[in-house]
Amino acid sequence: MKRLLRQLRSYWEQFLTILCHELRIIFTDAGVMLILLFALLIYSTIYACAYAPEVVRRVPIGVIDQSHTATSRRLIAQLDASANLAIAYEPSDMEEAKRLFYARRIYGVVYIPADYEASLYAGEQATLALYADASYMLIYRQIFEGVATTVSQTGGEISLLRALDAGLDTPLPAPIIYQNHTLFNPYLGYATFLMPAVILTVIQQTLLIGVGMIGGTWREERLYRVLRPKTRRRISTLPLVVGRGVAYLLLYALTGGIALAILYPLFGYPMKGALGAVVCMVGLYTVACIALALALSTLFCRREESLLLLLWTSIPILLLSGVSFPKEGMPDWLYRAGLLLPSSHGIEGFVRIQTMGASLSEVFSEVKALLLLTLLYGGLACLSTHRIIRKEAS
Amino acid sequence: MASLRDSWAVTQREVERWRRSPIYLVLMLLLPLLSFAFFATLFHKGVAEGLPIAVVDEDHTSLSRSLVEMLSATPLAEVVYEPTSVMEAKRLMREGQIMAFVVVPDQFEAAIFANRQTAIHNFISGSNLSINGLLAKDIQVAAMTFIAGVEFQRLTQEGLPEQMALAEVMPIRLDTHTLFNPYLNYGYYLSPSFMPMMLLIFVVLATIFSIGVELKEGSAREWLTTARGNIEVALAGKLLPQTLLFSLVALVMLAVISGVVATPFQGSVGLIIVATLLLVASYQAIAIVIIALVANLRLSLSLGGGYSVLAFTFSGATFPVMAMWKPLQWLSRLFPFTYYTEISIDQLLRGTPALYSLPYLAAMALFLLLPLLALRRLKRVCNQPKFWGKS
């Protein structure tokens, strides 16, 4: 019993020593501070500002009007009135339109044929052609949306006019209306869509790289020996792992808190989740990332290794989460491999909580996965740290 | 001539360093190739299919069932649930099981037969932009086809000739020609951006590392001595093997983009190659300036790495630069990758005449002048012991 108490007391003292020392390492190293302290806030702000306009409006397009009638001019005016479009040029033919296109003056062309008005007056179907550039996806979507909506409205007006013309004694077949409702991000804002994933990815990546840097420092400065408590042969594994982990948790509680409590509402991102659910999800996610980071950090012998070897993984990891590229579009095995990373679960769960208002029980599968990963990587971190301690002590 | 000999001596010394320390080849060869393999694999399918949706059928008639079948038949969507209520459907969405649900209201068939107005509602999640556009369009096409079919049938049954019925149902037909990415294929569209992005990250890190590590290990003076104190020669000799290796890797990258991912190369292949080589060189130039000014290996790596990761955002490959705030549009011009993206879209996807891409090439070439500003500082940093040993 007494031995157990002595052991626990030693653990506690070691834990405190490690915690304080780790914080000191962080705050006396500019390179590490940049990554662990400032990167999250700097990147979140920069990305938020870059995507702040959220939607692309007034895409410049060209209209080739071969009809030159009041009806076609009316259509052009309606197209220009669309929020998504801006009629920038009226080229006289396709050749001129192509030149404007290559010079990036326009991103699409609407072609009104010569018989446009005539067809409509004759009660026939009129045809319009739209040439839209899909090499920029978002621009393409706005052009398509803007033109299709305008054409559909115009078509509706024409149907009504024809019905009035026909004198309404024949009962008009009642239309079946199709209505599309976009939930959770009704204006399809780009920042609203991507920022939750960006913030969480930055949390994971900065932890992996920053903790890895410190891991390299531990090896370079032989801290496994230096921080050995006087009364013991070697430093103990558990207080070391937990002490380092708590140091990072405190740090990210601060920076993550700023990002989510200040930045989020500042840029107007949806915050539909209950506070408890958000804190739970992000907190658990951070712990899982710290566990992975601690496990990986034992592999690095030099300070700069983690940055050199891990920086490139940031974009692949963001993609693997299935947010910016759907998981149904990637090979199944690759997506499953990505499930080994906290980011794939954390991002999914966080987006559903904040953007959709899901409750913790509705993201339970993600919570479960994060818990398992924490145990897995925490265990690996302890094993790997123990191995190094033994090696350094001999 | 002497400087050529010295330069060669520096190059030999550099290659010897590569041999001793595996991190160089890992950074310049292994990891870039791995990253290309990742993207080639990721975009292998190119198009998504089988996106899970649900249908809330409150009507339960043969007409509503035929709508459900039409929705199932779309290439993109797959009806995986038929919940009994809208509440249940919303819960499924919050659980991440479905991305959209279509509601067929009660008395749907009856309303159509009785000539009363009725509606089909689609509720789609806006939280995932990449899926939303295509899925919404898919469902809309299925629903509109269904509606047009029903109305067409009603009109022809009332005795209207087919042509007139068609004109009634859809007075204006929009013929859409999707240019340059006709299958709306993610792979075509994204890999010419992501892979060079990876390449430039490694270029920046490797360049900063190869110079900065000499400072950290205190071997910088020896490096300069090999070039007999001439910083231009020292730099040229050190970076030449890197540039060559990265150029090779860049060519492999282009081969992967065109061969494995099968992105079309509509324009000038020569121009793309030149642009890619310029990409490598311009980021080396930027890296030289960073390490020369900061003179601290780890801080330079953090800054250089941080700068390179931002390149993708400001390139406009996803969110267009023209939609950003004006100051940020100016900021985007400080990244060589922004110009590269324009050239790559021009020459790979669009087949633009080379003339239009030349200004972007010139802009990239301007970055090559940057190191000239930092040479004196670099020489000083290499010679003064106070800059050594710091990491």
Alpha-carbon distance of A152 to A140, in angstroms, equals 18
E strand or H helix at B120: strand B118-125
For the CA atoms of A149, A151, A154, A158, the dihedral, rounded to the nearest 10 degrees, stands at -130
Give the per-residue pLDDT at A247.
95
E strand or H helix at B125: strand B118-125
Q: Where are the alpha helices (DSSP H) in B227-370?
A: 231-255, 269-294, 297-315, 326-332, 336-344, 354-366
Say whether residue B350 is in contact with chain A using an 8 A CB cutoff.
yes
Annotate A135-162 with b (16+ C-beta within 10 A) or e (fewer): bbbbbbbbbbbbbebbbeebbeebbeee
**What would the two tokens of residue A33 be?**
């501070």
Rounded to an integer, the average pLDDT of B151-172 is 80
Say whether residue A155 is in contact with chain B using an 8 A CB cutoff.
yes
Give the per-residue pLDDT at B23.
93
Closest residue to B119, CB basis, from A139, A176, A192: A176
Annotate A163-179 with b (16+ C-beta within 10 A) or e (fewer): eeeeeeeeeebeebebe
Tell me the residue length of chain A.
394
Closest residue to A356, CB basis, from B93, B302, B391: B93
Alpha-carbon distance of B365 to B361, in angstroms, equals 6
Alpha-carbon distance of B369 to A175, in angstroms, equals 66
pLDDT digits (tens, 9 = 90+) for A316-375: 999 999 887 888 888 999 999 999 999 999 999 999 999 999 999 999 999 999 999 999
Q: How confident is the model at residue B11 (pLDDT cuts 50, 70, 90)?
A: very high
Alpha-carbon distance of A290 to B277, in angstroms, equals 39
Alpha-carbon distance of A196 to A200, in angstroms, equals 6
Q: Provide CB contacts within 8 A for A283, sequence distance 6+.
A: A253
Alpha-carbon distance of B200 to B308, in angstroms, equals 7
Is the pLDDT assigned to residue A82 strictly greater than 60?
yes
Chain-centroid distance, C-alpha A294: 24
Q: How confident is the model at residue A167 (pLDDT cuts 50, 70, 90)?
A: low
Q: How confident is the model at residue B183 (pLDDT cuts 50, 70, 90)?
A: low
Instruction: Provide the chain B residues 262-281 that lie in CB contact (below 8 A) with chain A.
Output: none
Cβ–Cβ pairs < 8 A, chains A and B = 315
Is the pLDDT assigned to residue B372 strictly greater than 70?
yes
pLDDT digits (tens, 9 = 90+) for A228-259: 877 777 888 888 999 999 999 999 999 999 99
Chain-centroid distance, C-alpha B154: 48
Give the per-residue pLDDT at A308.
95
Q: Provide CB contacts within 8 A for A14, sequence distance 6+.
A: A229, A235, A236, A239, A240, A243
Q: How confident is the model at residue A97 (pLDDT cuts 50, 70, 90)?
A: very high
Chain B residue numbers touching A129 (CB-CB < 8 A): 174-177
**A248: closest CA of chain B, how far (Å):** 19
Inter-chain CB proximity B320 and A352 less than 8 Å? no
Chain B residue numbers touching A123 (CB-CB < 8 A): 164, 167
Q: Where are the alpha helices (DSSP H) in A176-236?
A: 190-220, 223-226
Q: How confident is the model at residue A171 (pLDDT cuts 50, 70, 90)?
A: low
Give the per-residue pLDDT at B158.
77
Tell me the residue length of chain B.
391
Q: Give the end-to-end CA distance of chain A in Å, rounded to a whole number.
A: 30
Per-chain mean pLDDT for chain B = 88
**A11: closest CA of chain B, how far (Å):** 32
Output the CA angle A320-B183-B75, nearest 5 degrees. 80
Amino acid symbol at B110: A
Give the per-residue pLDDT at A169.
54
Q: Find the residue in B nearest to A60 (Cα).
A: B322
Alpha-carbon distance of A297 to B262, in angstroms, equals 38
pLDDT digits (tens, 9 = 90+) for A289-311: 999 999 999 999 888 999 999 99
Q: 3-class SS at B52?
A: strand
Rounded to an integer, the average pLDDT of A200-215 is 95
CA dihedral over A277, A283, A287, A288, signed as positive or negative: positive
Q: How confident is the model at residue A41 (pLDDT cuts 50, 70, 90)?
A: very high
Chain A residue numbers touching B139 (CB-CB < 8 A): 180
CA dihedral over B257, B258, B263, B267, signed as positive or negative: positive
Chain-centroid distance, C-alpha B288: 26
A 10 A CB-CB count for B16 gives 10
Q: Provide CB contacts within 8 A for B17, sequence distance 6+.
A: B24, B210
Rounded to an integer, the average pLDDT of B133-153 is 85
Chain B residue numbers touching A185 (CB-CB < 8 A): 125-127, 129
Q: 3-class SS at A91?
A: coil
pLDDT digits (tens, 9 = 90+) for A108-150: 999 999 999 888 888 788 899 999 888 888 888 889 889 988 9
Alpha-carbon distance of B171 to B167, in angstroms, equals 5
Lowest model confidence (mean pLDDT) among A64-78, A288-302, B71-85, B181-195: B181-195
**B283: closest CA of chain A, how far (Å):** 15
Cα separations in angstroms, A204 against A27, A32, B1: 20, 15, 52
Closest residue to B166, CB basis, from A125, A308, A348: A125
Interface residue of B24, B128, B146, B271 to substitute, partner A, most A CBs within 10 Å: B128
**What is residue A172's DSSP assignment?**
P
Rounded to an integer, the average pLDDT of B100-116 is 89
**What would the two tokens of residue A123 be?**
């009660």
Is the pLDDT assigned to residue B66 strictly greater than 70?
yes
Inter-chain CB proximity A175 and B117 less than 8 Å? yes
Tokens 């000191």 belong to A24
Give the per-residue pLDDT at B185.
63
Chain A residue numbers touching B174 (CB-CB < 8 A): 127-130, 147-148, 151
Say whether residue A221 is in contact with chain B using an 8 A CB cutoff.
no
Chain-centroid distance, C-alpha A382: 31
Chain A residue numbers touching B201 (CB-CB < 8 A): 311-312
Say whether residue B227 is in contact with chain A using an 8 A CB cutoff.
no
Give bridge partners of residue A60 from the DSSP assignment.
Answer: A86
Find, among B174, B121, B182, B190, the residue nearest to A145 by Cα: B174
Closest residue to B128, CB basis, from A178, A309, A323: A323
**B1: closest CA of chain A, how far (Å):** 36
Q: Provide CB contacts within 8 A for B380, sequence distance 6+.
A: none
pTM of the model: 0.91
Inter-chain CB proximity B310 and A46 less than 8 Å? yes
**A386: closest CA of chain B, how far (Å):** 26
Instruction: Provide the chain B residues 169-208 that lie in CB contact (below 8 A) with chain A.
Output: 170-182, 184, 186, 189-190, 194, 197-198, 201-202, 205
Inter-chain CB proximity B296 and A125 less than 8 Å? no
Amino acid symbol at B46: G
Query: Do A61 and A250 form a contact (C-beta atoms < 8 A)?
Result: no
Say whether residue A165 is in contact with chain B using an 8 A CB cutoff.
no
Give the per-residue pLDDT at B321.
93
Instruction: Provide the chain A residues 31-70 that lie in CB contact (below 8 A) with chain B.
Output: 31-32, 34-35, 39, 42-43, 46-47, 49-53, 55-57
Query: Do A350 and B70 form a contact (C-beta atoms < 8 A)?
Result: no
The share of chain A scoring above pLDDT 70, in percent, equals 98
Alpha-carbon distance of A284 to A360, in angstroms, equals 12
**What would the two tokens of residue A7 be?**
């052991």
Tokens 């559903």 belong to A352
Give the per-residue pLDDT at B186.
64
Q: 3-class SS at A301?
A: coil
Query: Do B367 and B282 form a contact (C-beta atoms < 8 A)?
Result: yes
φ, ψ of residue A112 to 5 degrees: the values are: -100, 115
B341 Ramachandran zone, left/alpha/beta (phi>0; psi -120 to 50)? alpha
Output the CA angle B35-B133-A273, nearest 5 degrees. 85
Amino acid symbol at B368: L
The share of chain B scoring above pLDDT 90, in percent, equals 50
Q: How confident is the model at residue B391 (pLDDT cuts 50, 70, 90)?
A: low
Chain-centroid distance, C-alpha B126: 21
Alpha-carbon distance of A325 to A355, in angstroms, equals 18
A248 Ramachandran zone, left/alpha/beta (phi>0; psi -120 to 50)? alpha
Say whether residue A27 is in contact with chain B using an 8 A CB cutoff.
no
Chain B residue numbers touching A307 (CB-CB < 8 A): 205, 298, 301-302, 305
Amino acid symbol at B199: L
Alpha-carbon distance of A110 to A62, in angstroms, equals 6
